[in-house]
Amino acid sequence: PQAKLIFIISLLLGTTITISSNHWIMAWAGLEINTLAILPMISKSHHPRAIEAATKYFLTQATASALVLFSSMTNAWYTGQWDITQLTHPTSCLILTSAIAMKLGLVPFHFWFPEVLQGSPLITGLLLSTMMKFPPITLLFMTSPSLNSTLLTCMALLSAALGGWMGLNQTQIRKILAFSSISHLGW
């Protein structure tokens, strides 16, 4: 019970740090705190499917976090700014769009999400589908004036279409919920 409380407090702390930060390093640190706090909750049952889900989640989120850090470093290299709202370099914008799409599970970076949700406990799956999406969506909103709107619109349309289409083809509740989440992210 105490460990679960610590993980939930860490999730709240990581989300709060990311949402309230203006500096890229603080936002990245909040994303990492979230990732490290949810991993023990995913793999709590010590079942091979849960361990596989935790591994897939860790690898995907670590890659996306590295891309966020690389994007912010590239932007700081060219502009001298570490402020989140000062994302102006085109390459940094493209890399950040990919990183946020990977963190959220948007199409074409959606393949990890149904598998992770399938291997997670139900309450952890609820956290993955809701609370873990707030920090990346906040970063998306804070940088939206700089991001490529055509790319975001294409990813949104593809997510809405593919999530709904793939959800119709499922018989397992957690995968239906995962594809529903992907579709709703598109909307």
pLDDT at 127: 92
CA distances to 42, 50, 168 from 47, rounded to whole Å, are: 10, 5, 28
3-class DSSP state of 4: helix
Contacts of 128 (CB under 8 A, 6+ apart): 38, 42, 57, 113, 116, 117, 120
The rounded distance, in Å, linking the Cα atoms of 141 and 41 is: 28
Which H helix or E strand runs over 187?
A: none
Residue 162 has pLDDT above 80, yes or no: yes
Query: What would the two tokens of residue 16 be?
Result: 């709060």
Q: How far is the C-alpha of 11 from the C-alpha of 27, rounded, in Å?
A: 14
At residue 23, the 3 state secondary structure works out as strand
pLDDT tens track for 26-40 = 999 999 999 999 999
Tell whether the model's pLDDT for residue 45 goes beyond 90: no
- Is 183's pLDDT higher than 80? yes
Look at 161 and 45; give whichever has higher pLDDT: 161
Residue 46's pLDDT band, with cuts at 50, 70 and 90, is confident
**pLDDT at site 81:** 87
- Positive/negative CA dihedral, 170, 109, 115, 24: negative
pLDDT classification of 169: cutoffs 50, 70, 90: confident
pLDDT at 180: 93
pTM: 0.92
pLDDT at position 115 = 94
What pLDDT is attached to residue 157? 96
Sign of CA dihedral 160, 52, 98, 73: positive
Please state the rounded mean pLDDT for residues 48-53.
93
